[in-house]
Structure 1
Amino acid sequence: MNNIFRYTSPLSGIALASDGEALTGLWFDGQKYYPHKLVEESIEAELPIFAQTCKWLDTYFNGKAPDYIPPISMQTTPFRKAVYDILLTIPYGQTMTYGEIARIIAEQQGIERMSAQAVGNAVGHNPISIIIPCHRVVGADGDLTGYAGGLDKKKTLLQLEKYSI
């Protein structure tokens, strides 16, 4: 059974999910791919992982870069895991393009090229928003494109990190 905890951010409510040990999900209320059934069937709980994640979020929403990542666990494909691992390397206040991520994946897999659209699909399905910083991924020309939580939230998160938009 999954455990759930509600966090109130300056942008909207956030649902946190855990298997009891690690964070398995973090979604803005109403975001695209929000797992309504999972949230409805989960048990509300106060767990150490939720306290640790709330501390991380409090630090983040106070305009500071947290100095740790709470334990995370995801049930996902190897391709998506590779994309999320790259997202975790994007420094606070900086961005990377879908194409740059695609080039890294292609290099890791020893193939000539990888589709930026495939990367975009993986980024869009990120189950642990903010902590796995999918909001730091931008279009080839630096434009803000796609964000499951909404472009308004993506812009606000980047501004919070003092990224020039």
Structure 2
Amino acid sequence: MRNLFLSLSFAVMGSALSLSSHADMIAVVKGHAVFMATGSSLAILPSPSDGQLSCSYGNGVFSPGSSAGLEIPLPGATDIKLVGNDLYIATLKAPAGLPIPGAAENSYVKYDVSACLPDVPFTPSIARADLAAGELVIPCVLVDGQEYNVVMNQRGNSMNWEVIFADSGCQ
């Protein structure tokens, strides 16, 4: 009886934790825009927060314009990924008994958000070096259309460096 109680307790706790994790907001930052999947919508906010977006939304399309922020109803929005100028939002159909209104199936929605990511003049970021530790960080390197933050380690006492880590996206 005790084993059954423990098993059921763990199952209930696991289910509760799983449900709460699906409610967490997922965010992607690029340029001066913050894209968030909130569970029931896609929210786009300017960065910094007191700025303006360079896009507006209408008829399912992002177009050049200006707005303080956008919220687009998107039931079941659970995850978000930005690849180039294309924004992909995963949508989730809830398990039986926990319906998400409007979410018909597990799927994704794709938007071209190039209007929200205008070409801006390149402003070099500051590379950071810790010569005592032999580490060099080069932020925001553009390679084949993808942005990376590169971390390099010094090889011995020489001035030769090797890439040990490349993190996608600019910080």
| TM-score normalised by the chain length of structure 1 | 0.26
- Higher RCO (C-alpha under 8 Å, 6+ residues apart): 1
Whichever of the two has the greater Rg, that structure is 2
**Quick check: which one's helix share is greater?**
1
